[in-house]
């Protein structure tokens, strides 16, 4: 493994966006009275939630496509399998658990 594959980078981006969106919906509740001092945090968390809802499904689809492509090459099979394993929880969350966001 000399270089990271595209599918693994996309899977890590999925996890980063997923966790920031999940935590972003609770950001105003965590900060409480300090929101006024820190600036316009609700708009930032709203932006994160919009990316969380609209961006991740497309990145998941691209991850699966690139992982299938990487499975065909003998040198990148391990990374492709790791990318698929990292993507499965997000697929389950989006298409089976149906995320509910309360803002």
As for how many domains the chain has, the answer is 1
Q: Is residue 1 part of a domain?
A: no
Q: Is residue 31 part of a domain?
A: yes
User: What local confidence, expressed as pLDDT, does residue 4 receive?
Assistant: 87
Give the range of the structural domain holding residue 64, as residue numbers without chain letter. 6-95
Structure tokens at 69: 């492509």
User: What local confidence, expressed as pLDDT, does residue 100 receive?
Assistant: 58
User: In angstroms, rounded to a whole number, what is the distance separating the alpha carbons of residues 14 and 90?
Assistant: 8
Q: Is residue 101 part of a domain?
A: no
Q: Is residue 49 part of a domain?
A: yes
Between 87 and 55, name the one with better pLDDT.
Answer: 87
Which runs of consecutive H residues, i.e. helices, occur in 25-55?
A: 27-31, 35-38, 41-54
Residue 49 main-chain phi, psi, to 5 deg: -70, -35
Interval 16-52: pLDDT, tens: 877 776 666 666 565 555 554 555 556 666 666 677 6
- For residue 66, pLDDT over 90 is answered with yes
Summary mean pLDDT of the chain? 77
Q: Is residue 46 part of a domain?
A: yes
Q: Is residue 103 part of a domain?
A: no
Global pTM value = 0.71
């Amino acid at each position: 493994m000399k270089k990271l594959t595209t599918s693994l980078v996309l899977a890590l981006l999925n996890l980063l966006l997923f966790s920031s969106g999940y935590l972003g919906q609770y950001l105003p509740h965590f900060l409480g009275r300090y929101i006024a001092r820190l600036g316009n945090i609700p708009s930032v968390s709203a932006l994160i939630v919009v990316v969380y809802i609209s961006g991740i499904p497309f990145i998941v689809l691209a991850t699966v496509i690139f992982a299938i492509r990487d499975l065909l090459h003998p040198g990148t099979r391990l990374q492709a399998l790791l990318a698929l394993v990292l993507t499965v929880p997000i697929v389950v969350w989006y298409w089976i658990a149906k995320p509910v966001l309360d803002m």
